[in-house]
């Protein structure tokens, strides 16, 4: 080694800026990080070669023997952190090693690589500047580096790396074996070298390492042999003799015992790019190193890169290893329920903005039905007017005809809610009007189209109607509708209590008349079990999987009464808080998508409101019940539920893997993977950014079994920064209001992001994803047809 500048040193760490020509076999009881600022390095460990070029870095683990050769005029930043310093704060670290080589990082971790370079560069710059308290700053950088390594790159350690630092003699023995593995050493030779009796040495070695001397020594030789198999073209005979084996047969036998195949087969399957040691040349003097503007500029560039690419505080997030095997044979088609889009009164479809929203939702979502209320009592159908004309020139169905024709043209069907509370005062008048309306529609639009409609009988929960009264009217209603259109669907809404596990006595007639009911509608909202006055976080765990749990409980209840009917989840919601403020700040994308996927096999339809404005108008006020979700906000802005359900529609094919945080499908174009970071928390905490950072999650995903070939990857990110309409709304608003320019900008920028890249996949693909709270990452993995 030449040209060393040890810029900072102490019991805790050493920081060096140096030129490296040659470092012979070295062992350090701590971790070391090499960052190449200029030139090249080749670092050889007992298992492989690492060829580092500009801005590459490598972590060398505790008690890991290595040697280094460098190129002309290289500049290397080296950080050594002592065993005692790390163990003081993280004693468990002795059991682990850190796998970090910047050239071999899975996709998705590029920002973290930039962050690590930035921390190393900052450490050097802090020392160079030596501002007040700089030693504290340096310790802060050290801790950030260590936390990142521990939380992101920790793996189970090798035996030689787990040796306790205080056992100096054993460490010296291991170092000696690593340095002389190619020699014909015996147990007696080593015992004599360290002034021990062979019998004591044998017991001592096995007691400390849990394995015998011969087995340990042969495995050291085997590790070096594997390195030669992978990275050189040397013959197997030469490799066996070079690494201390008495002959090729003994090498091949041990290799097959450990790896399950011959050295030749292993080399054919796993051969790596051949590495040659870089040329070692005379180096420049080191005294000019720190004053070099080029080096300072490089350090500054690394810091700037880390600042620009840092997605969030990586040390605060949770971490998850996810392995997916797509070779599963137990596959089934992912079911997609139809969607009901509630618009209030039918006349809303006379408005051009509402039609635009309906058609957008029809294209991007599984919209099958347009849900309406007050069909006959509202403003859509005009009241009859006395006239002396033999053939009236105007029709009370003028508006409804225009709207229904629009729906028929666009393959949409009516979902008509009949609320008994609105018609109970004069049942016969309602039935008469309904019969006339149906006869008119049959004449104009035909029975085959009307047969796609649904009628839902409901009643405002808590009204004092007798059970027999409700039952009697439902049967009249059903008989009238079925007489005119025999194949139309007529169902009933069933109030169901999750806590009690049953329905009210007032509605048990539905169970008795099940043969006369085509489907059953119900509603679910986690707000049923949440008291928003409580701030203790664990109370909100009651809402986890509540929609699926209530659906299962309802199905079991119906099954106990021998009823199996299609279920329509008419009204549902995720946890959202009880004010507009928390409803706007708490991003819920993954919760919505996850719940929809979980109940997809249980329900035939899912219901949504078209937009906030229509929902408010329908209930005659500003306090929207916390039990439904709107696809659009004011001014055509798409709310997160819109994008969540559009991702659900985009997800096609057979399910090959599924878990609490992911689902993966295979289709004719390739594969699709959805990652979700679902978190149920008190929505009031959504205003605290520091708290939310702790709910972020890093996922290392490894997918096995993908056919080899070229793939185009389309990655969509849907989170609080990409698709959260309310966040943009707040950030771009002011006390002076907003005009159309601001509104258009908010709508234009409130959507998921898209990244497209190409990937050569060889049966296995690994990458990283950083998911903020309730984020969704959607990967469309398309096979390229060459």
Listing DSSP states for 355-411 in one string gives HHHHHHHHHHS-EEEEEES-TTTSSSSPPP-----SS-SS-TTHHHHHHHHHHHHTT
Q: How far apart are CA 173 and CA 553, in angstroms?
A: 65
Q: Are strands 338-344 and 367-372 parallel, antiparallel or unpaired?
A: parallel
Confidence at residue 182, expressed as pLDDT on a 0 to 100 scale: 80
Neighbouring-strand partners of residue 697: 318, 771
In the 8-state DSSP scheme, what is residue 638? B
Domains annotated for the chain, with CATH where assigned, are 2-158+291-310 (2.60.120.10), 168-270 (1.10.10.60), 313-334+651-786 (2.60.40.1500), 335-648 (3.20.20.80)
Confidence at residue 716, expressed as pLDDT on a 0 to 100 scale: 97
Neighbouring-strand partners of residue 606: 339, 569
Q: For the chain, give the percent of residues with pLDDT over 90.
A: 41
pLDDT (tens digit per residue) in 100-124: 998 887 777 778 888 899 999 888 8
User: Which carries the bigger pLDDT value, residue 505 or residue 388?
Assistant: 505
Confidence at residue 5, expressed as pLDDT on a 0 to 100 scale: 52
Q: What is the mean pLDDT of residues 712-723?
A: 94
Confidence at residue 281, expressed as pLDDT on a 0 to 100 scale: 30
Task: With cut-offs at 50, 70 and 90, classify the pLDDT of residue 340.
Answer: very high
Confidence at residue 390, expressed as pLDDT on a 0 to 100 scale: 58
Q: How far apart are CA 477 and CA 145, in angstroms?
A: 71
Q: Is the dihedral of CA 559, 564, 565, 566 positive or negative?
A: positive
Structure tokens at 332: 């089934």
Confidence at residue 279, expressed as pLDDT on a 0 to 100 scale: 37
pLDDT (tens digit per residue) in 480-500: 999 999 999 999 999 999 989
Q: How far apart are CA 726 and CA 258, in angstroms?
A: 58
Q: What is the mean pLDDT of residues 62-91?
A: 84
Confidence at residue 623, expressed as pLDDT on a 0 to 100 scale: 53
In the 8-state DSSP scheme, what is residue 287? T
pLDDT (tens digit per residue) in 454-474: 999 998 766 678 899 999 999
Range name among 5-14, 76-85, 313-322, 725-734 with the lowest pLDDT average: 5-14
Confidence at residue 643, expressed as pLDDT on a 0 to 100 scale: 96
pLDDT (tens digit per residue) in 143-194: 999 998 888 888 765 544 445 545 678 878 887 887 787 888 889 998 998 8
Task: With cut-offs at 50, 70 and 90, classify the pLDDT of residue 443.
Answer: very high
Q: Measuring CA to CA, how many Å separate 419 from each of 347, 423, 425, 459?
A: 18, 7, 12, 5
Q: What is the mean pLDDT of residues 340-357?
A: 93
Confidence at residue 711, expressed as pLDDT on a 0 to 100 scale: 96
Task: With cut-offs at 50, 70 and 90, classify the pLDDT of residue 273.
Answer: low
3-state helix, strand, coil in the chain (%, to 5): 40, 25, 35
Beta strands in 647-746 (DSSP E): 654-659, 662-667, 670-676, 697-718
**CA-wise closest residue to 69 among 118, 24, 21:** 21
Listing DSSP states for 215-237 in one string gives HHHHHHHHHHHHHHHHH----HH
Structure tokens at 57: 């870095």
pLDDT at residue 28 greater than cutoff 60: yes
- Angle at the Cα of 448 from the Cα atoms of 447 and 454, rounded to 5 degrees: 85
Please, which residues have CB within 8 angstroms of residue 215's CB and are 6 or more apart in sequence? Answer: none
pLDDT (tens digit per residue) in 502-560: 998 899 999 999 999 999 999 998 877 776 665 554 566 778 889 999 999 999 999 99
In the chain, what is the straight-line distance between the N-terminal and C-terminal CA atoms, in Å?
A: 50
Structure tokens at 156: 């189970």
What are the φ and ψ backbone dihedral angles of 438, each rounded to 5 degrees?
A: -65, -40
pLDDT at residue 326 greater than cutoff 80: yes
Q: How far apart are CA 533 and CA 540, in angstroms?
A: 11
Q: For the chain, give the percent of residues with pLDDT over 70.
A: 84
Q: What is the mean pLDDT of residues 319-347?
A: 90
Range name among 68-77, 433-442, 623-632 with the lowest pLDDT average: 623-632
Whether the CB-CB separation of 701 and 324 falls below 8 Å is answered with yes
Task: With cut-offs at 50, 70 and 90, classify the pLDDT of residue 316.
Answer: low
Number of residues that make up the chain: 786
Confidence at residue 604, expressed as pLDDT on a 0 to 100 scale: 97
Whether the CB-CB separation of 456 and 465 falls below 8 Å is answered with no
Q: What is the mean pLDDT of residues 651-668?
A: 94
Q: What is the mean pLDDT of residues 7-33?
A: 78
Confidence at residue 684, expressed as pLDDT on a 0 to 100 scale: 63
Structure tokens at 704: 């096995």
**CA-wise closest residue to 677 among 312, 256, 281, 307:** 312
Confidence at residue 786, expressed as pLDDT on a 0 to 100 scale: 79
Q: What is the mean pLDDT of the chain?
A: 84
Confidence at residue 258, expressed as pLDDT on a 0 to 100 scale: 86
pLDDT (tens digit per residue) in 283-312: 333 333 444 566 777 787 787 776 666 554
Whether the CB-CB separation of 423 and 430 falls below 8 Å is answered with yes
Please, which residues have CB within 8 angstroms of residue 99's CB and are 6 or more apart in sequence? Answer: 59, 153, 155
Structure tokens at 690: 């520091």
Confidence at residue 392, expressed as pLDDT on a 0 to 100 scale: 57
Helices (H), 232-387: 236-242, 248-259, 263-270, 293-309, 352-364
User: Which carries the bigger pLDDT value, residue 659 or residue 110?
Assistant: 659
Number of H helices, E strands in the chain: 26, 28
Confidence at residue 579, expressed as pLDDT on a 0 to 100 scale: 47
Structure tokens at 695: 């709910």
Neighbouring-strand partners of residue 41: 52, 70
Burial 384-408 (b: 16+ CB within 10 A, else e): eeeeeeeeeeeebbebbeebbebbb
Q: What is the mean pLDDT of residues 197-211?
A: 86
Q: Are strands 2-9 and 454-458 parallel, antiparallel or unpaired?
A: unpaired
């Amino acid at each position: 080694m030449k040209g060393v500048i040890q810029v900072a040193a102490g019991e805790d760490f050493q920081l060096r800026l140096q030129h490296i020509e040659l470092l012979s076999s070295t062992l350090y009881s701590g971790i070391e990080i090499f960052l190449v600022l200029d030139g090249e390095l080749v670092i050889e460990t007992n298992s492989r070669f690492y060829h580092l070029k500009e801005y590459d870095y490598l972590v060398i683990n505790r008690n890991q023997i290595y040697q280094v050769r460098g190129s002309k005029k290289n500049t290397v930043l080296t950080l050594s952190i002592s065993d005692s310093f790390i163990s003081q704060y993280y004693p468990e670290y002795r059991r682990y090693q850190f796998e970090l080589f910047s050239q071999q990082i899975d996709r998705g971790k590029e920002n973290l690589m930039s962050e690590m370079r930035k921390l190393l560069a900052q450490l050097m710059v802090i020392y160079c500047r030596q501002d007040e308290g700089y030693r504290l700053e340096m310790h802060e950088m050290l801790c950030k580096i260590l936390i990142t390594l521990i939380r992101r790159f920790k793996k189970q350690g090798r035996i030689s790396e787990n040796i306790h630092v205080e056992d100096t003699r054993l460490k010296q023995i291991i170092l000696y074996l690593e340095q002389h593995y190619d020699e014909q050493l015996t147990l007696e030779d080593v015992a004599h070298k360290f002034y021990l009796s062979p019998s004591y040495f044998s017991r001592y070695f096995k007691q400390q390492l849990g394995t015998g001397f011969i087995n340990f020594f042969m495995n050291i030789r085997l590790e070096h042999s594997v390195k030669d198999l992978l990275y050189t073209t040397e013959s197997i005979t030469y490799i066996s003799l070079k690494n201390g084996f008495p002959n090729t047969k003994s090498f091949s036998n041990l290799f097959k015992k450990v790896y399950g195949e011959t050295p030749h087969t292993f080399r054919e399957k796993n051969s790596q790019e051949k590495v040659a040691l870089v040329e070692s040349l005379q180096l420049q003097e080191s005294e000019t190193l720190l004053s070099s503007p080029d080096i300072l500029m490089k350090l500054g560039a690394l810091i700037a890169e880390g600042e620009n690419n840092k997605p969030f505080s990586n040390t605060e997030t949770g971490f998850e290893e996810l392995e997916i095997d797509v070779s599963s044979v137990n596959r089934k088609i992912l079911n997609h329920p139809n969607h009901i889009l509630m618009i209030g009164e039918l006349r809303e479809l006379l408005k051009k903005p509402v039609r635009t929203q309906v058609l957008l939702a029809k294209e991007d979502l599984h919209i099958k039905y347009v849900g309406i209320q007050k069909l006959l009592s509202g403003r859509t159908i005009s009241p009859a007017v006395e006239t002396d004309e033999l053939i009236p020139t105007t029709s009370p169905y003028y508006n409804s005809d225009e709207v229904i024709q629009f729906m028929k043209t666009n393959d949409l069907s009516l979902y008509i809610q009949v609320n008994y509370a609105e018609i109970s005062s004069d049942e016969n008048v309602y039935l008469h009007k309904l019969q006339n309306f149906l006869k008119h529609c049959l004449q104009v639009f035909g029975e085959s189209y009307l047969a796609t409609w649904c009628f839902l009988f409901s009643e405002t929960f808590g009204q004092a109607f007798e059970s027999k009264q409700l039952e009697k009217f439902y049967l009249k209603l059903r008989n009238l509708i079925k007489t005119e259109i025999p194949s139309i669907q007529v169902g009933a809404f069933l109030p169901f209590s999750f806590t009690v596990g049953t329905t009210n006595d007032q509605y048990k007639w539905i169970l008795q008349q099940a043969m006369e009911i085509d489907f059953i509608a119900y509603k679910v909202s986690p707000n049923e079990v949440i008291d928003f006055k409580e701030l203790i976080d664990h109370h909100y765990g009651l809402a986890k999987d509540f929609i699926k749990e209530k659906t299962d409980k309802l199905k079991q209840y119906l099954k106990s009464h021998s009823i199996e009917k299609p279920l329509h989840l008419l009204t549902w919601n995720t946890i959202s808080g009880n004010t507009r403020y928390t409803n706007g700040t708490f991003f819920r994308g993954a919760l919505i998508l996850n719940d929809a996927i979980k109940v997809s096999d249980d329900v035939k339809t899912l219901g949504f409101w078209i937009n906030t404005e229509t929902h408010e108008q329908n209930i005659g006020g500003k306090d929207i019940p916390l039990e439904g979700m709107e696809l659009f906000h004011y001014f055509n802005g798409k709310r997160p539920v819109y994008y969540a359900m559009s991702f659900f529609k985009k997800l096609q094919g057979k399910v090959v893997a599924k878990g609490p945080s992911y689902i993966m499908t295979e289709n004719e174009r390739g594969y699709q993977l959805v990652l979700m970071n679902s978190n149920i928390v008190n929505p009031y905490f959504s205003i605290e950014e520091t708290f939310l950072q702790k709910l972020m999650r890093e996922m290392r995903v490894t997918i096995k079994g993908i056919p080899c070939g070229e793939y185009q990857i389309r990655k969509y990110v849907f989170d609080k920064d990409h698709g959260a309409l309310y966040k943009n709304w707040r950030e771009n608003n002011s006390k002076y209001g907003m005009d159309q320019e601001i509104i258009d900008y908010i709508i234009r920028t409130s959507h998921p992001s898209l990244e497209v890249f190409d990937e050569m996949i060889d049966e296995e693909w690994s990458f990283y994803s950083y998911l903020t709270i309730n984020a969704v990452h959607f990967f469309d993995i398309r096979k390229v047809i060459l």
